[in-house]
Amino acid sequence: MSERSDAGAAMRIDLHAHSSCSDGTSTVGTLFDDASRAGLDVLALTDHDTVSGWAELPAAVAASGVAAVPGIEVSSESGTLSVHVLALLPDSSERSELAEEMARARASRADRARRMVELIARDHPITWEDVTGQVAGEQTVIGRPHIADALVARGAIADRSEAFREILSPSGPYYVPYYAPSPAATVAAIRAAGGVSVLAHPGSVTRDSDLPLDLLEEMVAAGLDGIEVDHREHDGAERERLRRFARTHDLLMTGGSDHHGTGKPNALGEELTAASVLAQISERATSGTEILRP
Ligand code: AMP
Ligand code: FE
Ligand code: FE
Ligand code: ZN
């Protein structure tokens, strides 16, 4: 093979994306068709706290020609910090501790969404039906983005971003937290489910200060496999800081778009993961869940 065709064969791998099974706006099928148009070879489906989209992956892979990494973006929390952990290639069994924790988080998210809507309805035009009208199906994990979309549909606010700034912010009067396990327990549960754990967008955990180092160290001690270094919410200095931490602790470094369909500007393939890193992820996973190839 010539050098040129080697270079041309560089794989385009995006390890972070959402469908309408959580707060993305595209079905799994459309997401993978879009991934093909974006020139991706591999895309991880990482909906918040659910594997309900996995059933659609075989058909989506066959139709799009894009390989799929079955995954989850698992919610965890530490004090007032919301920490997201990607679980790549975990077992999807409903009896694992991971599945039980996610079921608990989903139930708590549902209660919390209703409560937030009650509070917001005191000051803004919104009903619970407005929110369920923004949700794809029974199984959809409801989050603040759906409340944002309902407010936009009502004309109460211009767009999702403004809704997050003006109404849905954790420091605002309408925010209600939901149950989520600790970051270290989440890492351990992902490992017990045979999956590979990657700390998602650490730079956006707190918008104005760095993720506390001792929290990162706790996650590493619990068996954290990697860090999502390349993400649009990290500037160059943040990426360098995370790379140093990853090298020191022998962690994998991934990249992902965190695409949410039309709900956010994040474009499929805008951040990528090296093929050698995906190979290590695949080797480390012990669940039997495998990358689905076309
Ligand atoms: P929740 O998990 O319900 O608290 O909502 C958090 C989700 O909202 C994140 O996973 C993102 O998808 C989305 N999100 C957070 N901040 C913003 C923002 N400023 N603009 C748009 N979407 C956001
Ligand atoms: Fe999201
Ligand atoms: Fe996230
Ligand atoms: Zn995400």
Ligand 3 center–CA 266 separation, angstroms: 12
Q: What's the CA gap between 108 and 236, in Å, rounded?
A: 36
Residues whose beta carbon lies within 6 Å of some atom of ligand 1: 23, 143-145, 160-161, 164, 260, 264
Among the listed residues 251, 195, 210, the one whose alpha carbon sits nearest the alpha carbon of residue 228:
251
Q: What's the CA gap between 206 and 182, in Å, rounded?
A: 16
Would residue 90 be called left, alpha or beta, if left means φ above 0 and alpha means ψ between -120 and 50 degrees?
A: beta
- Per the CB < 8 A criterion, the answer to whether 11 and 270 are in contact is no
Which atom number of ligand 1 is nearest to the Cα of residue 163? 20
Measuring from atom 14 of ligand 1, which residue has the nearest CA?
145
Ligand 2 center–CA 134 separation, angstroms: 14
Kindly report the number of other CB atoms within 10 A of residue 222's CB atom: 18
Ligand 2 center–CA 75 separation, angstroms: 10
Best residue among 23, 204, 205 to mutate for probing ligand 1's pocket (most ligand atoms within 8 Å of CB) is 23
Q: Which letter does DSSP use for residue 235 in this model?
A: -
Whether residue 204 is predicted with pLDDT greater than 80 in this model: the reply is no
Best residue among 115, 164, 201, 259 to mutate for probing ligand 1's pocket (most ligand atoms within 8 Å of CB) is 164
3-class state of residue 172 by DSSP: coil
Q: Which residues of 183-196 are buried (b: 16+ CB within 10 A; e: fewer)?
A: bbbbbbbbbbbbbb
Measuring from atom 17 of ligand 1, which residue has the nearest CA?
164
Residue 18's pLDDT is what? 98
Ligand 1 center–CA 10 separation, angstroms: 32
Instruction: For residue range 135-190, list pLDDT tens digits in order.
Output: 988 899 999 999 999 999 999 999 999 999 999 999 999 999 999 999 999 999 99
Which atom number of ligand 1 is nearest to the Cα of residue 142? 3
Kind plus residue range of the DSSP H or E element containing 196: strand 196-199
Question: Helix axis angle, 97-121 relative to 183-192, nearest 10°?
Answer: 140
Residues 6+ apart with CB under 8 A from 26: 19, 20, 34, 261, 262
**Global confidence as pTM:** 0.94
Classified by CATH at the fold level, domain 13-284 comes out as: TIM Barrel (3.20.20)
Residue 233's pLDDT is what? 93
Q: Where along the chain do its domains lie?
A: 13-284
Q: What's the CA gap between 38 and 16, in Å, rounded?
A: 14
12-26, 88-102, 201-215: least confidently modelled range: 201-215
Structural tokens at position 67: 């390989």
Sign of CA pseudo-dihedral 186, 192, 195, 198:
positive
- Per the CB < 8 A criterion, the answer to whether 186 and 85 are in contact is yes
Residue 207's pLDDT is what? 47
